[in-house]
Structure 1
Amino acid sequence: MNFKSKLRFLICILLIPVLLNCAAFPDVVISKERKSLSIEKEKVRIVFTGFYRYDEEKKAILEVLLKEGFINDPNASLGLEVILQKREPHYRYLWIHRLNFLLTFLSGGFVPSHIRTESTLTFRYSNLGEVEKEFVYDLGMDQWRGIPVVIFMITHWPNKVYKEQLIEATKLEIKEI
């Protein structure tokens, strides 16, 4: 083996623990009301935007809405648009984040790395195309990757935590209307 092959092999060995182990810890779901009018639970046209990679989460939100009394009717004049948007994460100290990533890489995953994920979930109600009510929910999650994180992986898997946050925001929305 030449030097380049050995270096590639070493980098792959160092990256495997970092990529395989991940745990997420959610923030509290926060609601921001922008415009408010009352809309009753009835036949609505439910449209999902931004869920192109989150089919399971979309189904879970739809299930909660249907269970709470909404009736999905593609021909209804009332519309409910559920919008999922990713936001750029805000790191209070960006240089610490970068240093942490470097330490994780150099330690082969023994020093866990931190990644912040932020998004918004918006429920927009319209009547004949005119927006009548809109609620925005801020979702945030801190993810940790590395070998010591294996302990938390079972109960704090990022996909599971994210889905739970989306369902929690949907239940909060149902309480608001």
Structure 2
Amino acid sequence: MLEELKNKLGEEIERLTHELQITLPKAIQKAVEHGDLRENSEYKSALERQQFVQARLNHLTKRYGELSKIDLSEIPSDRIGFGSRVTVVDMRTREEETYTLVFGDYIDIDSGQISVASPLGQTLIGKKKGDKVSLQLPRGERKLMIKEMTTLPQMVDDQGDAA
């Protein structure tokens, strides 16, 4: 999972770098050739896009650096943490839900990814299989039991054993 995130980030960084260094300078140059820059919407649009791309690139580069610093040996294998896949049972409805804890930028609700910084993520961090947790939501309290969990170190070990 960690390598998958790093690859995904790397690809977006590469794409944005190309846009910033190749595509946008050409668009700006083309817009400059049209004359009066004060009323040139193409020029303004290209500059705004350039600022956005630069900001996004800075953010992604920082995130990539943070991911590169993660030491799997420091992530507990017996408690929920970053990268853990967790199945919970709603104590009221008995419905099961499975989540993977990820950094805030990589949330994909449809595939069950939630941020470690979200209220649910914060509630699950440090817990173990069999623990019961309570989560206060705007619509009321939600009580969950942790049915299953696989930590990031366990996933890496399983992949290593399979090789």
TM bucket normalised to smaller: under 0.3
Structure number with higher strand proportion? 1
Which structure is larger by alpha-carbon Rg, 1 or 2? 2
Structure number with higher helix proportion? 2
Question: How does the TM-score come out when normalised to structure 2?
Answer: 0.24
Larger RCO (CA within 8 A; separation ≥ 6)? 1
Question: How does the TM-score come out when normalised to structure 1?
Answer: 0.22
